[in-house]
Amino acid sequence: MDKATERLLAMRSTAARYGHGIDKRDRDDVSSATRRAGELQRLAAGHRTQATNARTEKALPAVIAEEFLDLHDRETTGRRTLRQGEARRAVEHQQARVAQPQATQFRGPSRR
């Protein structure tokens, strides 16, 4: 009978340690998940703020066009002129590249 009692006490002790280990791991997992959820909530809030700012910024040209028509017209004309100048320079650069003959590649000293 003593053997059986010792065996049962050992099993209870092992079960208690095992159960405690499971509880500790579960508690750590919940803690980690809670921390990660908080981080993701903060990230989501930041992204929502960025989206709101982007929508506001996108709507701003329409507000400017309505309230400051002269300023909007000057800006639009300036941007168009700038783009046309850039396009003209790109075409001129491309034409200059085509007009220049390609230089031959250097092949190193001749071996005579």
What pLDDT does residue 64 have? 82
Q: Tokens in use for 6?
A: 């010792």
Q: Is-contact 50 57, C-beta < 8 A? A: no
Residue with tokens 């329409």: 62
Distance separating alpha carbons of residues 35 and 40, to the nearest angstrom: 9
- The structure's pTM equals 0.45
Looking at per-residue pLDDT, the higher value among 21 and 99 belongs to 21
Express each pLDDT in 9-47 by its tens digit: 888 888 888 888 888 999 999 999 999 999 999 999 999
Q: Is-contact 72 64, C-beta < 8 A? A: yes
